């Protein structure tokens, strides 16, 4: 129950088990999540232990394949906290890889936005089954330790990503009252949307976009052909005829419902947390994000939409941009007035010693390691806490320990953060320290994002034709552009469709687009 404070008994049990069953993989809660809240700690440990054998075996096969192929590079694995770790580390701490894919997408979107001088970014990653949204303010992502997977608590550091069941494969249906519902059930990849010609009969978001002319009848560079007639039949039989409307209006209704669900998800990470979405750009990626981006931005009043050069692999870009990152925590439960500044300093130094040793073992030069300190604080009696970074000023070393002034600065910053998050602060309520935290970041080589000079505004060389697309209850003759032929500096206006190998970007009537020096499509609304 209290292994976060004294792990001796857990470690003793591990030694006894290994003496009898040396082949066992054993996960200790005191190693994985040494914090109070025993339910979350137990759930996290059980989940990690459950997936650990599969993760370790898979990574061993990958490393073996790399060795046979004579690839000299070290295998790194993305974590939920936005950093990478070694394959050996992932095999031991499998829970840290949960939501690692969406975390990579959030990191990739933030770096692209920051490079283009847009540090306030909302990332919107729409795939076949889910929609992942994340907010970054002033170039910094938000983090949480209160994750959940399939209803099970996961208490590991992770980028704060909100996920809903909304994707291209989300199924549309009428409920018992005749209302249109879209998702969270998905047709997946098999059988997939009706238009995939794989036996699917349920209408999906992809079917609706095809009927509306917003996506082409071929995907992945012509490698997959879509059947519009099958999409129309599915929507007609399941939605349009029971509703007593046309196929086009039924398809538009399907898209409107899924857009409303995704807009709510964006409000959850912005408005619900005290941020105005109008102060951000919307970075849309994944196969489906650019199809729906402009509608989401219009609904939320977001003035600008970014579509990266390769939306379908933006998460892969995030992997290449990640550094080594490890989180260390020590439970430290006591009233803030009873915290001994010298003892607190010693705890930080101890955790930093562990962090440096691990980075060196992973091959990171000491000069490339950055350490971040923070303290979890809460009002006495609360069941949740806020992480507050250490105050600047050069204190907190063996030669110059923290002072009571530093504790006062921590308390002041906690009040400001509590007010920003929850709308109020208690000026006289006692504070309680909960955890001491250290984050280590080890710099890794990464690709440099460099803007190229802007050229001609004329986008005509990329124009491949026109086709009808449905907007605002009417068909509009829409220009079709080949993304590969668009060049930095090109400008055009909607209605338009931009097609490329891994995604399609929809530009509604009245919206303006230009290609920036990084190759992003930047869509201005209004």
The one-character DSSP state at 458 is B
- Crossing angle of helices 314-321/100-115, nearest 10°? 80
Largest CA distance in the chain: 78
User: Cα separation of 389 and 366, whole Å?
Assistant: 22
Q: Where in 3-93 does DSSP place strands (E)?
A: 76-78, 84-86
User: In this structure, how many other beta carbons lie within 10 angstroms of the beta carbon of residue 206?
Assistant: 28
DSSP 241-278: HHHTS-HHHHHHHHHHHHHHHHHHHHHHHTGGGT--GG
Q: Where in the chain is the domain with CATH 3.30.1490?
A: 326-442
Instruction: State if pTM tops 0.85.
Output: yes
* Three-state secondary-structure class, residue 76: strand
Please give the C-alpha separations between residue 522 and each of 76, 114, 138, 372, 519, in angstroms, as whole numbers. Answer: 32, 14, 19, 34, 9
Provide the CB-side half-sphere exposure for 513 (13 A, CA).
31
Of 405, 428, 425, nearest to 415 by C-alpha is 425
| Cβ-based burial of 460 (10 A; exposed 0-12, middle 13-18, buried ≥19) | exposed
Q: Does residue 323 come out as left (phi exceeding 0), alpha (psi in the -120 to 50 range) or beta?
A: beta
The predicted structure's pLDDT at residue 35: 82
Q: Where in the chain is the domain with CATH 3.30.420.40?
A: 100-156+260-320
The predicted structure's pLDDT at residue 23: 87
Determine the CATH number of domain 326-442: 3.30.1490
Q: Phi and psi for 268 in degrees, rounded to 5?
A: -60, -40
* pLDDT tens, the chain, 526 aa long: 888 888 899 999 999 999 998 888 888 888 888 888 888 888 988 988 898 999 999 999 999 999 999 998 889 999 999 999 999 989 888 989 988 999 999 999 999 999 999 999 999 999 988 999 999 999 999 898 887 777 788 888 999 999 998 999 999 999 988 899 998 899 887 889 999 999 999 999 999 999 999 999 987 777 789 999 999 999 999 999 999 999 999 999 999 999 999 999 999 999 988 899 999 999 999 999 999 999 999 999 999 999 999 999 999 999 999 999 999 999 999 999 999 999 999 999 999 999 999 999 888 998 899 999 999 999 998 888 999 999 987 678 887 889 899 999 999 999 999 998 888 899 889 999 999 999 999 999 888 899 999 999 999 999 999 999 999 999 999 999 999 999 999 999 989 999 999 999 999 999 999 999 999 999 998 6
Determine the CATH number of domain 100-156+260-320: 3.30.420.40
Of 78, 19, 25, 21, nearest to 48 by C-alpha is 25
User: Cα separation of 270 and 134, whole Å?
Assistant: 9
* Three-state secondary-structure class, residue 73: coil
* Three-state secondary-structure class, residue 333: strand
Dihedral angle of Cα 172, 176, 179, 180, to the nearest 10 degrees: 0
**Is the previous residue joined to 188 through a cis bond, with omega within 30 degrees of 0?**
no
The predicted structure's pLDDT at residue 394: 67
């Amino acid at each position: 129950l209290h292994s976060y404070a004294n792990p001796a008994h857990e470690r003793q049990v591990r030694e006894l088990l290994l003496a009898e069953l040396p082949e066992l993989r054993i996960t200790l809660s005191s190693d994985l999540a040494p914090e109070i809240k025993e339910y979350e700690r137990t759930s996290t440990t059980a989940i990690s232990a459950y997936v650990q054998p599969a993760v370790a075996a898979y990574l061993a096969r990958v490393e073996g394949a790399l060795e046979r192929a004579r690839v000299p590079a070290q295998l790194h694995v993305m974590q939920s906290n936005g950093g990478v770790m070694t394959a050996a580390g992932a095999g031991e701490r499998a829970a840290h890889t949960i939501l690692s894919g969406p975390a990579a997408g959030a990191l990739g979107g933030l770096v692209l936005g920051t490079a283009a001088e847009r540090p306030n970014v909302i990332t919107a990653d729409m795939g076949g089954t889910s929609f992942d949204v994340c907010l970054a303010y002033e170039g910094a992502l938000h983090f949480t330790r209160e994750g959940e997977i399939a209803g099970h608590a996961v208490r590991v550091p992770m980028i704060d990503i909100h996920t809903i069941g909304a994707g291209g494969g989300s199924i549309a249906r009428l409920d018992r009252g005749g209302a249109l519902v879209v998702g969270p059930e998905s047709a997946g990849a098999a059988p997939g949307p009706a238009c995939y010609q794989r036996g699917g009969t349920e209408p999906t978001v992809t079917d609706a976009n095809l009927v509306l002319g917003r996506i082409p009848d071929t995907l992945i560079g012509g490698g997959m052909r879509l059947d519009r007639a099958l999409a129309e039949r599915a929507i007609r039989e399941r939605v349009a005829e029971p509703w007593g409307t046309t196929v086009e209006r039924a398809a538009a209704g399907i898209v409107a419902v899924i857009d409303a669900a995704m807009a709510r998800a964006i409000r959850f990470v912005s408005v619900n947390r005290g941020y105005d979405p109008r102060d951000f750009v919307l970075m849309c990626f994944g196969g489906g994000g650019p199809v729906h981006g402009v509608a989401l931005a219009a609904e939320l009043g977001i003035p600008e939409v970014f579509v990266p050069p390769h939306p379908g692999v933006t998460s892969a870009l995030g992997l290449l941009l990640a550094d080594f990152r490890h989180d260390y925590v020590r439970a430290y439960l006591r009233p803030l007035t009873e915290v001994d500044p010298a003892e607190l300093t010693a705890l930080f130094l101890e955790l930093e010693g562990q962090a440096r040793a691990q980075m060196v073992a992973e091959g990171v030069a000491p000069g490339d390691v950055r350490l971040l300190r923070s303290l979890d604080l809460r009002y006495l009696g609360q069941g949740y806490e806020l992480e507050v970074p250490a105050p600047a000023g050069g204190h907190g070393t063996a030669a110059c320990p923290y002072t009571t002034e530093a504790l006062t600065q921590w308390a002041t910053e906690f009040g400001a953060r509590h007010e920003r998050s929850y709308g109020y602060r208690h000026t006289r309520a006692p504070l309680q320290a909960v955890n001491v935290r250290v984050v280590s970041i080890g710099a890794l080589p990464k690709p440099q994002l460099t803007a190229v000079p802007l050229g001609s505004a004329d986008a005509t060389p990329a124009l491949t034709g026109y086709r009808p697309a449905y907007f605002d209850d009417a068909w509009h003759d829409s220009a079709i552009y080949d993304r590969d032929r668009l060049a930095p500096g090109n400008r055009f206006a909607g209605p338009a469709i931009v097609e490329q190998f891994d995604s399609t970007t929809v530009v509604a009537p009245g919206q303006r687009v230009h290609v920036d020096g990084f190759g992003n499509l930047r869509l201005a609304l209004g």
